[in-house]
Amino acid sequence: MTGYVDPSRENWQAFKDLPRDQPIHMLNLIKFRDLAEYPEGHPNHGTGLTGREAYAIYLEGFQRVVANDGAAMVWEAPMECVVTGPAGEWDEAFVMGYPNSGIFMAMVKNEEYIRDVVAHRSAAVADSRLIRFGG
């Protein structure tokens, strides 16, 4: 199985080429690793955290980074069953709203996000999809 954790160069460029001055929604589909895979030297390396636990740490840090930018959870709910498609493909699904795509781009370039937050997402996620919709 090919896992997607980060955007390809082409997909990131397509995102940046879209209008930056209007609200957007980002659908997140997440499949967690059984055990988080932190790199050697990271404080959480070898701690036995699950992917879900590491992602919870990521979400806490993410929310701290965007707290004053108007980004907010638009929709989240526990998954109950898959009606169309294979069961177990995704562990979590939610939609984040951003006032504009510039806020999202600033978040991924934010020094605190890069230094303290994104490693938890990388350690937690086996596969993901991040899909932009107009706001």
**Cβ neighbours for 128, distance < 8 A, ≥ 6 positions apart:** 3, 4, 5, 28, 29, 30, 31
Q: What is the pLDDT along the chain (135 residues), one digit of tens a residue?
A: 578 998 999 999 999 999 999 999 999 999 999 999 999 999 999 999 999 999 999 999 999 999 999 999 999 999 999 999 999 999 999 999 999 999 999 999 999 999 999 999 999 999 999 999 996
Name the residue ranges covered by the structural domains of the chain.
23-134
Task: Give the residues across from 133 on adjacent strands.
Answer: 25
Q: What is the pLDDT of residue 47?
A: 95
DSSP for 5-22? -S--HHHHHHHHHS-SSS
**Cβ neighbours for 120, distance < 8 A, ≥ 6 positions apart:** 36, 44, 54, 55, 57, 58, 61
Q: What is the pLDDT of residue 3?
A: 82
Tell me the three state secondary structure of residue 84: coil
Task: Give the residues across from 96 on adjacent strands.
Answer: 26, 73
Distance, in Å, from the CA atom of 52 to the CA atom of 66, rounded to the nearest integer, reads 21
What is the phi/psi pair of residue 100, to 5°?
Answer: -165, 165
The CATH code belonging to domain 23-134 is 3.30.70.100
DSSP for 25-48? EEEEEEEE-SB--PPTTSTTTTS-
What is the phi/psi pair of residue 54, to 5°?
Answer: -65, -35
Cα 54 vs. chain centroid, distance in angstroms?
Answer: 12
Q: What is the pLDDT of residue 2?
A: 72
